[in-house]
Structure 1
C-alpha cells in the first residue's frame, strides 16, 4: 500500500499540481518583495494631497467631431470585457501594445530615415487602434465593475502622456521624416507641448476642455498615415504636383500648424484666468508658472540639438527625441497630479538632470560621447518616470485601500454605461 501511494504521488498530474503550487508561491513572494521595495522608496505625495486626490471629481467640457460616432463602437466593445478585468489593466495592456509596435517601427526605419516592411506599418496602425479602443473603454469598464476611483483618471492621463511620445515619433518614422531632422524635431516637440498645454489649462480652469478636433481625430490621422505607408512605403518621398513639396514635408507642416493652433487656444483660455481665488489656478497659485517646466525643457532641447558638434539630432533623431519625450511625460504627470490634488508645482524636478547633463557635456567639449550619453539619458529618464508613477500609484492605492490592477470580487454590472 505504501508503494502504491508513493507511485500515486509521482504521477504526472500530482507533479503538475505541485509545480503549479510552487510557481504560485514564488510569484506571491516576488509580489510581496516588490511591494515592500516600492513602499521603502521616498514618499512622493503628502497627506493633504492624498486627501484631495480622494475628493477629486472628473470634470470635462466639449465633444470632439468623431467621439459621438466612436461611442457606439466603444459601448459595444466594452461588453466583451470580462467583469473580473480591472480598468487600469485594460489601459496598460493597450499602452504596452502601442509602445511595442512603435519601438519596432523606430528600429526598423533606422531613426525615421528609411523605409521598412509593410507589415510593420500595419502592426503600428493596429497597435495604435487597439490602444485607442482600450483607452476609451477603461472608464466604462470601471462603471460596469463599480470600481471607479481617482486612480483611474490619474492612470489614464499618465498613460496618455507616454503614448503621446511614442505615437508622434512613430508617425514621423512612417513618413521617413528623419531625413529632415529639424522638421521632425519641431513636429514632436510641439506635439508634446500641445498635450502639456491641455493639462496646463485644466490645472488653471479645473476642467479638461476638448476641441472639435482633438485626440481622437489626431489618432485616426496617424492611423491613416500608417495605412498609407502599408500600401505604398515610398509614397511620402513623392512631391505634390505643381508645388514640388514632398508629402512628408506636408505632413510635418500640418502637424506643426495644428499643434500651434491648439496650443494657442489653450494658452488663450489660461490667460482668461483660473477658477481659484483672484483668478488663480485650482491650487490658488500663479496661472503662468506651469509654463516654466515645459519652457525649460524645450529651451534645453533646442540648445542641445543646435550646438551639438557630433550632430546628435541628425544622426540619432528618434533616440534624441525619445529622451526628451520621457522628461516631458514626467513633468506632465506632475502637472496632472497637481491638478487633481489642487497642489502647487515645484520649480525643480529630477527629470531635468538628463537635459542639463547633455548641455554641460557639450560645454566641456564632449567629455562623454553624445551617443553613449543619450542612452544613459534615456535609461535614467525611464527610471525616473517609472519610479515616480509607481510610487504615486502605490501611495494612492494604500490610501484608498484598492488595487491598481485587480478589483475585489464579486462585481455586478452597473446600469449606467454612458461615457
Structure 2
C-alpha cells in the first residue's frame, strides 16, 4: 500500500506557518551566532572599567537657547513611543535615517561640488530633524520605561560622534563647498575638533557643560541650510552685496568661527584644572594628554591632504574627509568611555593605522592609487569603529545583564519627565 507524502496533505496556511517557523528559527540561530562571534572578539574593557561604568552618573550643566522651547515638543513626542521600544533602538533608528540621507547627498553632489535634486536636500533636512528629535527623547523614554542605564548615555554620545561627521560633511555638500576644498577641509576639521574638545572638557571636569549656542542650535542651522538648498541650490554660489564673497564662503567662515569659539571656551575650562587629585582629570591623569589623539589625527590629515600628488582632497573631497571623520569618531568614543569609566587613555589606537598607511603610501610614491587606497581606508576605519562600538556595548550589556535594543522586564509608564 502506497504512503502519501505528508507535504502534499498540508493546507496552504499550514505550509505558510511552517515556513514562518523555519524563518524564525534561522533568524534566532543567526542572532546567536552573531552574539557568539562578538563575544569571541578581543576584550576591550577591563573589569575595573566595567565596574566604574556601572557606577557612573550623568552630570551636565547649562541650558541652550532652544532647549526650553524644544522640551515641550519632545515631551509631547515621547508619548507616541510604544513602551516596548528600547531607548537605544529609538536612537539608532534616528541615526540610520540621518546617515542614509547624508550619504545620499554626498553621492549626488559629486564630492560637494555639484547641485542635486531638491528632494534630496529636503530628505537630508528631514533625516537630521528626525535624528535630533529621536535623540532628544531617548532619555525620556528610558525614564518612562524604567530602563535607565550607563549604556544609554554611552550609546547616545557615541551616536552623536558619528552623526557629527556625516552632518558636517553633508552641510558642506548642501552649499557646494567642495569647490573650495581646503576651506571645506578646515571647516570640517574645526567642527570635529570642537566636538572632541567638549568631551575633553568633560573628561577633565567630570561634567558636560552646554553653552547658549550648542548642538541643538547647530543642528537647526544645518537644517536651515538644507531647506535653502531645497528652494534654490544655486543660492550659495551668489555673492553677498558689497562684500563680494559667495554665500557658501560665509557659511564656511561661520562654521569655522563658531567651532573655534566653542573649542576656545572648552580649552579654557580645561586649562583651569580638573576635578581629580592635584587638578588632574577624572582618571587622575594629565589634563593635557587627550590632545595627543586629536592632534595626531589633524596632523596626519593635513600632511596627507597637502602632499597628495594626485590631489585627492581636491578630487574626492567628501570621501577623503569621511575617512578621517570615522577615525575622529573612534577616538572621541574612546575619550567618552575613558570619562565614564574614569580610566586613562592609551597612547596607541588601531584607528591610527589608516592615516599612517596613507602617509606611508605617499612616501613610497603611491604604490597603490590614492583613490583606491581611500576606499580601503574607509572600509578599514568603518570596520574598526563598528568593532570597537559593538564590543563595548556587548561587554557592558553582559556586565549589567541588559539588552542593548530590547527592554528586558515588562515596563509601565512613569510621569517623570526630568531633562
TM-score (norm 2): 0.98
Q: Which residue of 2 aligns with 1:331?
A: 331
* Whole-angstrom distance in 2 between the partners of 1:9 and 1:136: 54
Residue 212 (structure 1) aligns with: 212
- After TM superposition, the structure 1 stretch with the greater mean CA deviation from structure 2, 219-228 or 5-14, is 5-14
Residue 306 of structure 2 is aligned to residue 306 of structure 1:
yes
Separation of aligned partners in 2, 1:87 and 1:12: 39
Matched, 1:47 2:32: no
Local SS of the residue matching 1:88: helix
- Higher mean alpha-carbon deviation, 313-322 vs 401-410, is at 401-410
- Cα distance change, pair 241–14 in 1 and its aligned pair in 2 (3 A): same
Counterpart-to-counterpart distance in 2, 1:251 and 1:169: 13
- Distance, in Å, in 1 between the alignment partners of 2:4 and 2:88 is 49
Matches within 5 A, 1:10-409: 10-409=10-409
User: Aligned-pair distance for 1:16?
Assistant: 1.3
SS of aligned partner of 2:233: coil
> What is the number of residues matched between the two proteins?
418
Q: How far apart in 2 are the matches of 1:322 and 1:330?
A: 13
SS at match of 2:274: coil
Q: Once the 2 structures are TM-superposed, how far is the Cα of residue 410 of structure 1 from its aligned partner? A: 1.4
CA distance in 2, matches of 1:413, 1:353: 47
Distance in 2, Cα, partners of 1:39 & 1:99: 27
Q: CA RMSD in A?
A: 1.3
| Deviation readout 1:229-251 (Å, 9 max, x if unpaired) | 00001000000011110000000
- For residues 363-388 of structure 1, the C-alpha deviation after alignment (integer angstroms, 9 at most, x for no partner) is 11111110000000000000000000
Judged with a 3 Å threshold, the aligned counterparts in structure 2 of structure 1 residues 383 and 7 are, in CA distance, closer, same or farther, namely: closer
Cα distance in structure 2, aligned partners of 1:69 and 1:170: 26
User: Does structure 2 retain, via aligned residues, the 8 Å contact 1:9–1:15?
Assistant: no
Separation of aligned partners in 1, 2:373 and 2:4: 65
Q: CA deviation at 1:315?
A: 0.2
Q: CA offsets, 1:181-222, max 9 Å, x none?
A: 001001111100000000000000000000000000000000
Q: CA deviation at 1:13?
A: 1.4
Does the aligned pair in 2 maintain the 1:8–1:14 contact within 8 Å? no
Q: In structure 1, the residue corresponding to 2:114 is in which secondary structure?
A: coil
For 2:232 and 2:332, locate their aligned partners in 1 and report how far apart those are by CA, in whole Å: 36
Per-residue Cα deviation, 1:323-375 (whole angstroms, up to 9, x for no partner): 00000000000000000000000001000000001111111111111000000
CA 1:345/1:7 → structure 2, altered by over 3 Å: closer, same or farther? closer
After TM superposition, where is structure 1 displaced by more than 4 Å over at least 4 residues in a row? 3-9
Unaligned runs of 5+ in 1: none
